[in-house]
Amino acid sequence: MNRFRLGIHEFCYTLLAFPRAWGFMRNHRLWEGLRQYGWVARCLVGLGVLIALYAITETIDWFGSHANDPVYMAVVGSDGLVVRWFTDLRESMSEGVLNMVTLVLLEVVIYHFMRRTLQIILKKTVENAHTFKPFLDAQIRMIIVTAIVTVAQGFIINVVGGIIGEENMLYWLFAILLQSFFLGYLIADNYNEQFGLSVQQSQRQLWRGYIGICLGLGLPLFLMLKVPLVGTILGPLVTSVTAAIVLREKSDLHIIGYQMNEKERQQADNKAAKKAKKLAKKAARQAKRGRHKGVMA
């Protein structure tokens, strides 16, 4: 029960942090410096924009077919905008996958805004962070985490849909919340990456006590991604800044680092022991070869 109340508090706290993040982003002009990532970054951002354009044609067609309808019926009628959103979600869960792909393509923007925010609020500077190698590492990690999240999301949604039925409104509410959680999880993982956590360590860190924050990050992002082009670009930007601000305030990762539990410490000790044993064997072989060469000489 305490964990549930904590999750609700973190969810609300994160939602209220979005206006702060927007002001922070504007006041510190976080978009400055994006050009230093070169043509690779611009190409990926361009691809992200192209992915977002798929919604524009449908939106234009929709407004054209409802130009003479009353505003109320156009929004909430049987063929209104709100109903269309839920219909699209019911007809194809691939929309959730498309959101994930959009975040992958916009990783360079998320990476830059996250890094710049931490640079300002924590005085945390990463040497040569604008070069290709750190960006490539971040992009590869984003692809890996996105693949894991996409599989997990599809599996959970299919299981729940088989249990309660896909026509049940609770199923669609659950599907939206689940998609929102995983979107927020992807952004929060970028924060953990800045402090050297592996994919597995980041998963444990977020699952232990930051589920509410992930949902609070993901739900506004889910809604913003519904807005063609503008929301697709601004959504990941402001969400990444919000994640940096909230996790810095709610997490002690920047102070004490990642804290292993007993099982993780034992695994780390075993891994270190195996590595030390392997290095000792290698040193022994090299010493033996050295003695052999000395005898031959």
What is the predicted pLDDT for the residue at 66?
53
d(CA 94, CA 91): 9
Range of the domain at 294: 260-297
For 76-105, the pLDDT digits (tens) are 455 555 555 545 544 444 456 677 777 877
The region of weakest confidence among 83-97, 151-165, 234-248, 276-290 is: 83-97
Whether residue 101 is found in the same domain as residue 214: yes
- What's the pLDDT score for residue 242? 95
Q: Measuring CA to CA, which residue among 219, 155, 154, 227 is closest to residue 187?
A: 219
Identify whether residues 230 and 281 lie together within a single domain: no
Identify which of 101, 2, 14 has the alpha carbon closest to the alpha carbon of residue 52. 101
285 vs 127, more confident: 285
Same domain? 242 vs 274: no
How crowded is residue 239: how many other Cβ atoms within 10 Å of its Cβ?
Answer: 31
pLDDT tens column, 40-84: 556 656 665 665 555 555 555 555 555 555 544 444 455 555 555
CA trace torsion 142, 152, 15, 20 (10° rounding): 0
* Pair of tokens at residue 176: 């939206």
pLDDT band at 215; cut points 50, 70, 90: very high
Residues 273 and 155 placed together within one structural domain of the fold: no
pTM, full prediction: 0.73
Position of tokens 């830059």? Answer: 112
Taking the C-alpha atoms of residue 6 and residue 213, their distance in angstroms, rounded to an integer, is: 10
Residues 171 and 293 in one domain: no
- Nearest CA-CA partner of 184 in 162, 152, 213: 213
Based on the domain organization, do 235 and 284 belong to the same domain? no
User: Could you tell me if 254 and 270 lie in one domain?
Assistant: no
3-class SS at 49?
helix
Residue 90's pLDDT is what? 42
Higher pLDDT, 61 or 142: 142
Residue range 189-206, pLDDT digits in tens: 999 998 888 898 899 888
289 and 154, same structural domain?
no
103 & 196 share domain: yes
Count of domains in the chain? 2
